Amino acid sequence: MSVYLDYAATTPLRKEVFDCYVEHLQTLGNPSSVHSSGQLVRQALEEARESLAKSVDCNRSEVIFTAGGTESVNLAIKGLFWQRVGEDSKRKVIISAATEHHASLDPMEWLEKHDGAEILWLPVDRDGVIDLDFLEDYLQEHHENVAFVNLMWANNETGVITDINRVTAMTKPCGIPVHSDSIATFGHIPISFSSSGLSAMSVSAHKIGGPVGAGALIVSRSTKLVSIIHGGGQERGMRSGTMNAPVAKAFAVAAELAVSELAEEHLRLEALRDKLVQGVKNITPLAHHTAAKSPRMPHNAHFTFDGCSGDSLLFLLDQQGVCVSVGSACQAGVNGPSHVLLAMGRTEREANGCIRMTLGKQSTEADVDAFLSALPKALDGALRAGLTT
């Protein structure tokens, strides 16, 4: 049986979630229909909305169900930009960081190319920490030109956590909305939408034991954005289309379980991660723990290895039944160094030699031991192959 250390890519569907999903798949009715069958499905949908709202600590009306994290991020970025420019044509600056997931980078760059957006990339240090002093100084001088700020709560590759509350404390006096891709964060560390100061926050189900194809954009009641999907006007007019009640219910169950177990799992996974990190350091001096000095997620261990390719390490570990990644699963198979590490000031050689191990609910000490046992042989083979760039 394979040892799975890629929970940041996706997670196993939990039994409770599967059972809930199957149960509600068998209920006939469109939640927008006014007859009893439709209203029964509508009730399930609104129960899911209420449950998810409790898990993220927001008002139920602020939950907008989507088909996944990428859709949520796109709706936030495009919707906020079009809304802000429509209200004030000079607000064309989007503030973000080059370490963001491509779900954010690509729509921002699309807006830059097609709709005249101007992107300000905040500096990032070698430990993956965003320079928020730079942000504060910029806002003092240029806040009237800013459309919104877009920053991940935690980086999906390195696990580095950003101080979102400090970001919103800076932007609030300027009336600038902030969206955070919180997909790598939700269900792993405590987060509260209501106390975060955020205008919008994206979350996803399959990172926390829920089904693929389920996500949500949390939008504060005071925030307006232009929809990118037009039709029946569902979900506060922000996301038209027949609402998927079975998926919403399954997402809500996964979120409830993840949040209820969060404190215990945080400590358990942090201990496993620390064992893995120390084990790698003991095996080879060629390994460098990325962002070791930064605040980071408890289940993420990210390394660069001198003199070899991360892709080689991945495939050689996989041959021994150990699944890891070299970064975002969305970029798997795309040749080239990690854009996150390049933004952190690493060379292309360094950014080509990284692997990421992420732990989850089913992870055990035996999994960590198996990885550490497999690493020397994989590293030897990867060093023989060398770097491809």
Question: Which residues are catalytically annotated?
Answer: 330
Determine the Cα–Cα distance for residues 327 and 310; give it in Å rounded to an integer: 9
Determine the Cα–Cα distance for residues 48 and 37; give it in Å rounded to an integer: 17
**DSSP structure string for 195-242:** HH--SEEEEESTTTT--TT-EEEEE-TT-----SS-SS-TTTTTS-S-
Amino acid code (one letter) for 124 = V
The residues with which 296 forms a beta bridge, in sequence order, are 160
CA 38 and chain centroid, separation:
33
Amino acid code (one letter) for 378 = A
Name the residue with tokens 């060629």: 286
Name the residue with tokens 């954010």: 104
DSSP structural state of residue 55: H
User: Under DSSP, is residue 53 helix (H, G, I), strand (E, B) or coil?
Assistant: helix
Beta strands 354-358 and 300-305: pairing type? antiparallel
DSSP structural state of residue 32: T
**CB-based contact 290:320 (threshold 8 Å):** no
- Among 50, 53, 57, smallest CA distance to 192 is for 57
Amino acid code (one letter) for 280 = V
DSSP structural state of residue 121: E
Determine the Cα–Cα distance for residues 310 and 232; give it in Å rounded to an integer: 47
